[in-house]
Amino acid sequence: MAEAQAPQRGGYTEEVSAERLAEIGLRFEVDGEIATIALDRPSKRNAQTFATWAALADIGGNLPEQVRIVVVKGEGPSFSAGIDLRMFTPEGVPGQGSFSSAAQLDTTAFEQQIRKAQQGFLWFRRPEIVSIAAVQGHAIGAGFQLALACDLRIVADDVKFCMKEPALGLVPDLTGTKPLVELVGLAKAIDICLTARTIGAEEAMRIGLAERVVAADDLARAVQDKIAELLSTNRDAAAATKRLLQGARARTLEEQSVAEGVEQARRLKALFGGA
């Protein structure tokens, strides 16, 4: 399968109204260079549906040009309890079907539906933004994968990450397996996924899942502090550096050195090249 492509700014997606987002259980706010996406269905522990993922893709496709930081947070006690369990029932989620109705699709159509869902997760890696997941309480399945889609995870001391999919007969398919392996290594990723065990704050910090652990009451402040640090660097240099860092693993040292030179030449021309 070809490398997944994230929806681009101003791409093919549609802008979603605040009313529609509220129906889906999302809020989206932009304050200057900072955008905040809130999972806002706390009474259902911010369970996610196909509509959630389509809306996330639309938000990504319409992200205002000035945005440099995207914060993803969850209202209430849990960041997200993962996929809406009604998908496992014959009735499914009203208007969105169920896994048993999706399983009736031919394989190509089914794979396309999954690729569409993944668009909601891919764009958080764009070089021109830094995405931060602010995670408290449970981050299960799709909730864990949403946190993994972000560049950084700042977590509360009550965080509980769990890759529940294999326990339910599924695989993690919302773009979470690659960042998980890259963050914690293959052995630990196998352990985490194939046991579906819960990872608390201390372990999340120790194995590199979390950048920082704070008391639950301090989570918003810790995110604000990180945003201030991130905004203190040059916008274009930050984007170029993220591009370099993202490409580093796939390149040889020689190739990476060349890439550094290409980016630096661009920076120097932009800074000192005059008209």
Interface with ligand ACO: number of residues (CB under 6 A)? 18
Q: Which residue is nearest to ligand ACO (CB)?
A: 141
**79 or 123: CB nearest ligand ACO:** 79
Question: β-pairing, 212-214 with 152-156?
Answer: parallel
Chain-centre distance for alpha carbon 134: 11
Q: How far apart are CA 154 and CA 211, in angstroms?
A: 6
x/- binding map, residues 34-73, to ligand ACO, per CB under 6 A? ----------xx-x--------------------------
Burial environment of residue 35 by CB neighbours within 10 A (0 to 12, 13 to 18, 19 or more): buried
Q: How far apart are CA 251 and CA 231, in angstroms?
A: 28
Phi and psi at residue 93, to the nearest 5°? -95, 125
Q: Is 82 in the site for ligand ACO (CB under 6 A)?
A: yes
Cβ 47 to ligand ACO, closest distance in Å?
Answer: 3
Q: Which stretch binds ligand ACO (CB under 6 A): 53-61, 75-83, 125-133, 221-229?
A: 75-83
Window 185 to 244, contacts with ligand ACO (CB under 6 A): none
Cβ 195 to ligand ACO, closest distance in Å?
Answer: 14
Distances (CA, A) of 208 to 7, 103, 112, 188: 27, 36, 32, 11
**70 or 83: CB nearest ligand ACO:** 83
72: closest CA among 182, 161, 171, 154? 154
**47 or 192: CB nearest ligand ACO:** 47
Q: How far apart are CA 34 and CA 131, in angstroms?
A: 10
Window 120 to 179, contacts with ligand ACO (CB under 6 A): 138, 140-142, 164-165, 168, 170
Residues engaged in binding ligand ACO (CB under 6 A): 44-45, 47, 77-78, 81-85, 138, 140-142, 164-165, 168, 170
